[in-house]
Amino acid sequence: MKTYIQQRQQKLRESQTNFYTPSGIHIYIKEPVNQTVVSRALNMLEQRVPIHILSEVEMIMFGWFAEFDERGLQAYFDGGTIFVSNLFDDEIELFETLIHETAHAVEKTYGYEIYGDDKIKQEFIRKRQYLHDILWKEGYKMPISVFLDTEYDQEFDEMLYQKIGYGKLDGYAAGIFITSYGATSLREYFATAFDDYFINPNHSFLKKISPAVYEKINLVLSEEELDI
């Protein structure tokens, strides 16, 4: 039989590794984290993101998952859960990662409202065409058809990430994409804009270069206009 002290210790451990945030997100810490970093990042998330948006995230699980090594990730969203690395030691980086995965939760739930009228797709394709022309001039010659495909494509991603490199790409994509990662796919185009909306309080640049996405983010944030 467990002693009173052992029971208290077990309860304390559980309260630190398996709990709910004030807005109702289930937090499960599977592998050890920096508690301060995690609690600060969760506070920022809950302070900045409206509750109806956060309700798309049922659980945040901290650990190191096989997909991270397989796909070179630190986080992903699947079936209502954000799986995120337990190794963050910077609360801002962790907060930004959680915002990004929240964006994927949102675009799954509000897929029709966000993508249904193709406005974001048209905006994205125009930017991809522009990027194609810039890269072509710089000697990275890939057929335009590759740039017109809005889904994630491994070959395209490898060209951006390995052949060109995000450092250089940032220069080519400046003023077209909010970050060069937004060029990866239509979904990442939405998610990187969503990140910027919550990370950067000044929305003027985002509104200027990505007006269609900006409009959709405002739409999903104004819950009363949605009939879901």
Q: Which residues bind Zn ion (CB under 5 A)?
A: 191
Cβ distance to Zn ion smaller for residue 73 or 134: 73
Residue given tokens 């270069």 in the structure block: 209
Minimum CB separation of residue 188 from Zn ion in Å reads 5
Minimum CB separation of residue 67 from Zn ion in Å reads 13
Minimum CB separation of residue 193 from Zn ion in Å reads 11
What is the token pair recorded at 122?
A: 């048209």
Cβ distance to Zn ion smaller for residue 191 or 220: 191
SS3 category, 63: strand
Cβ distance to Zn ion smaller for residue 70 or 227: 70
Minimum CB separation of residue 38 from Zn ion in Å reads 21
Integer Cα distance of 183 and 110 in angstroms: 21
Cβ distance to Zn ion smaller for residue 25 or 184: 184
Minimum CB separation of residue 33 from Zn ion in Å reads 21
User: Which residue's CB comes closest to Zn ion?
Assistant: 191
CB contact at 8 A, 58 and 25 = yes
Helix axes 91-109, 35-48, angle to 10 degrees: 50
Cβ distance to Zn ion smaller for residue 91 or 192: 192
What is the token pair recorded at 188?
A: 């990442």
Integer Cα distance of 130 and 114 in angstroms: 23
CB contact at 8 A, 159 and 177 = no
